[in-house]
């Protein structure tokens, strides 16, 4: 049975509409909230979709309120979908750390208790939410995906695992090698268990080296990002891209940190990058 | 003794810097926080300042995080100063309502106890903070002022009371006639007492009719603003502007509400409006 969308909020924005919906998620077994930006009508052609995946501690609102992406999306005629970052609610497992449990779904399907009851963010973002959006809004089937930090990890892994699905992917300060950094190791051990083999399909470095899927990818990384050396390490993905001849561009932005101020400074570049492939 | 600025946060943003400072305010008798956007260096000329006054319940962060104004300020070479909306702290009087006390300073000098001990927002915004900014940052003496809702009231009243000080003023959904609307009457009675005569110098409608000061003023108002009919009533100011031949432009924006989504949709127009007079 298709999930029913409950409209929670609606605001006129840049000639389009910013909306927020609640729905019951069958993948996550809980009530979920997402935001969507619908640009004003152009020529009647259904607009393409850009998925915007947020980072640790975020909800659908961070990207909605802080990124400024809608201005450019309105100009280019792009729909933006801004999902939450994990299942939510009193009945959903949680952890005291900000980097595990609610707000920290890591865009994977958990296999270990207690997480496996709800934490199926890979299925939610990859299957359930796209079907819901396609069924309820006038959108084309052309899609791109982008994200920030943990959401950058989500955008890159989902794009790499689904050949032909996205015309391009991009990320701000993504976690590119969760297998080898503390955030990833803590979360993957909890969600996926001790067998590191099962972690690999959620690691952008491993996927880029081991899949034949190629698509244009843009990464921006601030060099004053407090998580750069310990958690992000984009040079590892760059090295693999060189080895396998993958169309990856990594830009280092001097002085920029991990905040949404960094995202808002470069989100226009990202949307224009995606538009180049979406609007052909 | 000049107040010392303590840097709380600093982020690179659109090639400039978004900073947040704490200082001890002598007008308000408490510690205060403000945010400032400094555009990247242009030609060595100190940039002009645009004051951005926020509305009820807001701090310095709402405009900083949600308006998207810094993108345009960076392009035009404008400094933005984003103050808090009232004195703050445990020792400062407060009220259970969102529209009185902390977060609701109404940009006036309170004369009634207990408010008069700290609530001197007119002096703070009009004198203390400008001196602090001029003394600590490289800025020109050219200034414009804008604000949202209660902050629109602040921007208009401060501009109207200070001939020659600002080259232009603008507002999003301002409270233009606090003498005649519930928000204004509640706050003015508490802060200023029962003598309505003393309220007039904080009422844009009264000031526009009774002062010779003229400057270009732009107002944007969404027609789906939930506060339009009861609290805002821009048509009253428009009528007076026609009577006294005041250079006021009021634009009604169809479908827009009272939120920062409305502000962000039109803030570029406001900054370009101010730049026309600031950068001559």
Q: What is the pLDDT of residues B183-239, one digit of tens each?
A: 999 999 999 999 999 999 999 999 999 988 899 999 999 999 999 999 999 999 999
Give yes or no: A225 in active site. Answer: yes
Q: Quote the minimal CA–CA distance from A48 to chain B in Å.
A: 22
Q: Does A178 touch chain B if contact means CB atoms closer than 8 Å?
A: no
For position B41, what pLDDT does the model report? 80
User: What is the pLDDT averaged over residues B249-260?
Assistant: 98
Q: Which among B14, B68, B261 has the least Cβ separation from residue A11?
A: B261
Which residue has tokens 């001939």?
B163
Count Cα atoms within 13 angstroms, Cβ side, for A137: 27
Identify each DSSP E strand in chain B by its residue range: 6-13, 16-25, 30-38, 49-53, 79-83, 143-148, 169-172, 217-222, 248-253
CA end-to-end span of chain A, whole Å?
35
Bin A236: left if φ > 0, else alpha if -120 < ψ < 50, else beta: alpha
Residues 6+ apart with CB under 8 A from A181: A175, A230, A231, A232, A233
* CB contact (8 A) between residue A265 and residue B68: no
pLDDT tens, position by position, B184-194: 999 999 999 99
* CB contact (8 A) between residue B68 and residue A65: no
Average pLDDT by stretches of 10, chain A with 280 residues? 83 98 98 97 88 98 97 98 98 97 98 98 98 96 98 98 97 98 98 98 98 94 97 97 97 98 98 96
Which of the four pLDDT bands, split at 50, 70 and 90, describes residue B3?
low
Percent of chain B with pLDDT over 90: 95
What is the token pair recorded at B144?
């414009």
DSSP reduced 3-state for B51: strand
For position A1, what pLDDT does the model report? 41
For position B44, what pLDDT does the model report? 79
Q: Do A214 and A247 form a contact (C-beta atoms < 8 A)?
A: yes
Q: Do A187 and A178 form a contact (C-beta atoms < 8 A)?
A: yes
Nearest to A119 by CA among A154, A165, A147: A154
Residues 6+ apart with CB under 8 A from B95: B101, B104, B190
Q: Do B149 and B227 form a contact (C-beta atoms < 8 A)?
A: yes
Identified catalytic residue from B67, B149, B167, B204: B149
Residues 6+ apart with CB under 8 A from B131: none
Bin B14: left if φ > 0, else alpha if -120 < ψ < 50, else beta: left
* CB contact (8 A) between residue B13 and residue A222: no
Chain B residues whose beta carbon lies within 8 Å of the beta carbon of residue A257: 11-12
Q: Does A37 touch chain B if contact means CB atoms closer than 8 Å?
A: no
Q: B 192-231 residues with CB below 8 A of A?
A: 222, 224
Interface TM-score (ipTM) > 0.85: yes
Whole-angstrom distance, CA of residue B41 vs CA of residue A210: 46
Residue among B10, B12, B228 with most chain A CBs within 10 A, to mutate = B12
Nearest to B75 by CA among B218, B220, B267: B267
Identify each DSSP E strand in A228-268 by its residue range: 248-253
* CB contact (8 A) between residue A71 and residue B66: no
Give yes or no: B84 in active site. Answer: no
One DSSP character per residue, A76-116 reads: HT-EEEEE-SS--STTS---SSTTSBTTB-TTSB--STTGG
Q: What interhelical angle do B69-76 and B260-278 show, nearest 10? A: 20
DSSP bridge partners of A169: A145, A217
Domains of chain B and CATH, by start: 6-278 (3.40.50.1820)
Chain B residues whose beta carbon lies within 8 Å of the beta carbon of residue A15: 265
Which residue has tokens 């810097």?
B17
For position A153, what pLDDT does the model report? 98
Chain B residues whose beta carbon lies within 8 Å of the beta carbon of residue A71: 68, 264
CA end-to-end span of chain B, whole Å?
35
- What is the DSSP code (8-state) at residue B280? -
Peptide bond into A40 cis (omega under 30): no
| Predicted model pTM | 0.95
Whole-angstrom distance, CA of residue B231 vs CA of residue B27: 28
* CB contact (8 A) between residue A255 and residue B66: no
Higher pLDDT, A246 or B45: A246
* CB contact (8 A) between residue B261 and residue A71: no
Q: What is the helix (H) or strand (E) element at residue B122, kind and residue range?
A: helix B121-123
Q: Which among B68, B222, B262 has the least Cβ separation from residue A71?
A: B68
Residue among B13, B40, B61 with most chain A CBs within 10 A, to mutate = B13
Alpha carbon of A174 to those of A58, A169, A187, A205, B46: distances in Å? Answer: 15, 12, 15, 11, 37
pLDDT tens, position by position, B92-147: 999 999 999 999 999 999 999 999 999 999 999 999 999 999 999 999 999 999 99
Q: Does A259 touch chain B if contact means CB atoms closer than 8 Å?
A: yes
For position A212, what pLDDT does the model report? 85
Q: Quote the minimal CA–CA distance from B10 to chain A in Å.
A: 9
Chain A residues whose beta carbon lies within 8 Å of the beta carbon of residue B71: 68, 264
For position B1, what pLDDT does the model report? 41
- Rg value, chain B, Cα: 17
Q: A 63-102 residues with CB below 8 A of B?
A: 65-66, 68, 70-71
CB count within 10 Å of CB A67 equals 24
DSSP reduced 3-state for A199: helix
Q: Do B277 and B270 form a contact (C-beta atoms < 8 A)?
A: no
Chain B residues whose beta carbon lies within 8 Å of the beta carbon of residue A255: 12
Q: Do B68 and B167 form a contact (C-beta atoms < 8 A)?
A: no
Nearest to A99 by CA among A36, A178, A162: A178
Identified catalytic residue from A149, A167, A170, A204: A149
CA–centroid distance for A50 within its chain: 10
Residue among B11, B63, B69, B220 with most chain A CBs within 10 A, to mutate = B11
Which of the four pLDDT bands, split at 50, 70 and 90, describes residue B34?
very high
Q: Does B11 touch chain A if contact means CB atoms closer than 8 Å?
A: yes
Q: Do B203 and B192 form a contact (C-beta atoms < 8 A)?
A: no
Give yes or no: B3 in active site. Answer: no
Chain B residues whose beta carbon lies within 8 Å of the beta carbon of residue A18: 261
Identified catalytic residue from B60, B203, B220, B225: B225
């Amino acid at each position: 049975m298709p999930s029913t969308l409950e409209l929670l909020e609606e605001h006129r924005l840049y000639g389009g509409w910013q909306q927020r919906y609640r729905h019951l998620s069958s993948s996550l077994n809980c009530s979920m909230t997402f935001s969507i930006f619908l640009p004003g009508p152009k020529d009647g052609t259904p607009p393409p979709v850009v998925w915007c995946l947020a980072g640790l501690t975020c909800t659908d609102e961070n990207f909605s309120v802080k990124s400024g992406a809608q201005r450019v999306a309105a100009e280019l005629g792009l729909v933006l979908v801004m999902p939450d970052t994990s299942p939510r609610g009193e009945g959903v497992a949680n952890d005291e750390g900000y980097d595990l449990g609610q707000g920290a779904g890591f865009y994977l399907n958990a296999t270990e208790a207690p997480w496996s009851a709800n934490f199926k963010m890979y299925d939610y973002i990859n299957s359930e939410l796209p079907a819901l959006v396609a069924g309820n809004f006038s959108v084309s089937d052309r899609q791109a995906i982008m994200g920030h930090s943990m959401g950058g990890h989500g955008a890159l892994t989902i794009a790499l695992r689904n050949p032909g699905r996205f015309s391009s992917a991009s990320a701000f300060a993504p976690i590119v090698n969760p297998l080898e950094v503390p955030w990833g190791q803590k979360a993957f051990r909890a969600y996926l268990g001790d067998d590191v083999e099962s972690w690999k399909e959620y690691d952008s470095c491993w996927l880029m080296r081991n899949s034949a899927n190629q698509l244009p990818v843009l990464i921006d990384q601030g060099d004053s990002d407090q998580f750069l050396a310990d958690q992000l390490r984009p040079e590892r993905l760059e090295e693999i891209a060189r080895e396998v001849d993958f169309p990856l561009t990594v830009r280092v932005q001097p002085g920029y940190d991990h905040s949404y101020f960094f995202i808002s400074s470069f989100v226009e570049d990202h949307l224009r990058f995606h538009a180049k492939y979406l609007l052909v």
